[in-house]
Structure 1
Amino acid sequence: MQQLNADYNARFGFPFILAVRGPRGQGLGKAEIIATFARRLGHPVDYERAECLRNIHRIAEIRLADKFGIQPALGALVWDWSEELAAHSDPGFKEQGQLTVTYLTEAHQACARQLQGWMKECGFDDVGIDAVGNVVGVYQGTDPQARRLLTGSHYDTVRNGGKYDGRLGIFVPMACVRELHRQGRRLPFGIEVVGFAEEEGQRYKATFLGSGALVGQFDPAWLAQQDADGVTMRAAMQAAGLPADMGAIQALQRDAARYLGFVEVHIEQGPVLAEADMPLGIVTSINGSVRCLGQIQGMASHAGTTPMDRRRAAAAAAAELALYLEKRAARVPDVVG
């Protein structure tokens, strides 16, 4: 710790500041503090100065909350759900302390059961796991025939993923329903929360299959895809107790006319809100994703004897392409490349 502190001061020229009570307010362990120290040593100076200021803000927030007896109970509940669900991780990653939950593995199925149980405890009227593994909870409105608000997000992860990507969008509406049920309140419309079984395409080359089933875009060919161990999606579904039948999957398609709309709470994965010091933002547009697969074929040659105008360096061509993409995307506001 002393060496880390000395290295930090030598690099940044100001003291290391950390709200040691942590985001939950219950305190960070020594290992967590050391890991944070080591991680932040790699920050650029301006970024680390902003990080220190955020931690000063957090320290003041904790002290004021203690002073006035304010505890963010619902925030703590969402945090605890996130931590508890993150205990489930695929073999080979769990042992390294990494979170990886891919489609229909044991960890994935454990997450589905956990979410199903929590939804029931929150007071949802109907809770179930559908034909593709989505966890669906419905809290009826004052008129059961009224259109519903659809919300939710995915609970699978990328390899070595984060605890809040996707899952925050399940937990926040769950907490809302929990409070409505606790207060004995019903809204004029129903709330349907979906924990989508798959978005990331990590086990099979089929992304968004959870939400795809709800909008009628589940490709039947996906069932024959094989994972790295040769297990087909159909076999994985059957092993998990799902029907693996296109009739059952197609029956999941929702009628858009029965819904008010779809809204998703998501953790920010960029720097915009943090830099603006804003805790919440409302997304008004989002970048669509287009991916192209290409191949650059070069020719190996001696770097010391091949003239520049004779070289066919694939790496240099790829670098030029990357630089062009960066410049081209920067010409259009809010476009990324």
Structure 2
Amino acid sequence: MENELRIISVSKEFKDGYKALNNVSLDIKKGEFFSILGPSGCGKTTLLKMIAGFISPDSGEIRVNGERIDHLAPNERNVNTVFQNYALFPNMTVYDNIAFSLKLKKANKDTIDKEVHKYLDLVGLSEHRDKYPDSLSGGQKQRVAIARALINKPEVLLLDEPLSALDAKLRQKLLIELDTIHDEVGITFVFVTHDQSEALSISDRIAVMHKGDVLQVGTPNEIYETPVNTFVADFIGETNFLEGEIIKVYDNYAIAYEKDLGEFKVELDKPVKVGNKVKLTLRPEKILADNKMPNNPNDKYKILEGIVDEVIYNGFQSKLFIKLDNSDKIFKAFEQHREFVEQDELFEWKEKVYFYWNYEDAYLVEVM
């Protein structure tokens, strides 16, 4: 698949000395749903505004379909932006908001009417065409903003935290709608968010940013299961970190030692040698917990004993915080509720438990 949007060695420093972007490069494919993910202040919104033309780079290039656009004014780029605050015209109806750009281009009335109804239908707002923004819900306003951007038939649609002002259930509903709209129109979407679950659920690929740098680009599965470093592992979802020193190395795995954990196996996701300090990420859903010692445990599993320090019931799962015996270390484990759960079947506070994981499920993120 060809690259439609290319960010090439782009940097930006503001007058106060704040470096927003440090030599950032990204290749985004035609028709891709691409997310730029990171905490506040990481540079993701600066990068989006640079693609849109609202901020100029200090150095580097931005290209769409091979054509350099970083010298063009925003209205000269075939790129449209959907903003967090919707930016609708309050004195115009839904119909007129969506039609606005076509009227500016002096399209004929029949073309405008046909196109507006097409995009009203696409975003499911045909029955609201004559309403004003003040009478719409937040989700409806966002869909008007999306339709208004798409009617220009941009090559790239930029979405700047478009769901952050909405409540959790509505965000989830609009995420699905956004994905459906993307599939129908087939253009490139660049989605900026600080919400990991949004990015994981909707993206073809994700770029994780931190302090002006792109740390990792990959599919949601790659970002979650094989994070490139400790920051990415910790930022994407919840995790446990295991640390130890390599004491033996075999063909397919190594043995690490830590005073509280004892010896544990390490899959060789990266080359190691005896004496290396290592850090692994172990997702809570990979840990199994039981109030009985597992029968005939497989030698791939590391088994530990602990006390339930806290239980958080979330309906579909319980989050266990397990304090390791004779240690202050706390492990997080997620217990999925796949069947009906009676109250007395849940883990209890201060209950003794055995918890264990397959060493192949812990990913080696750092070798020191």
Give the shorter-chain TM-score range: under 0.3
Q: TM-score, normalised by structure 1?
A: 0.22
TM-score of the pair, normalised by structure 2:
0.21
Which one has a larger percent helix, Structure 1 or Structure 2?
Answer: 1
Structure with the bigger percentage of strand: 2
Tell me: higher relative CO, structure 1 or 2? Use CA pairs within 8 A at least 6 residues apart: 2
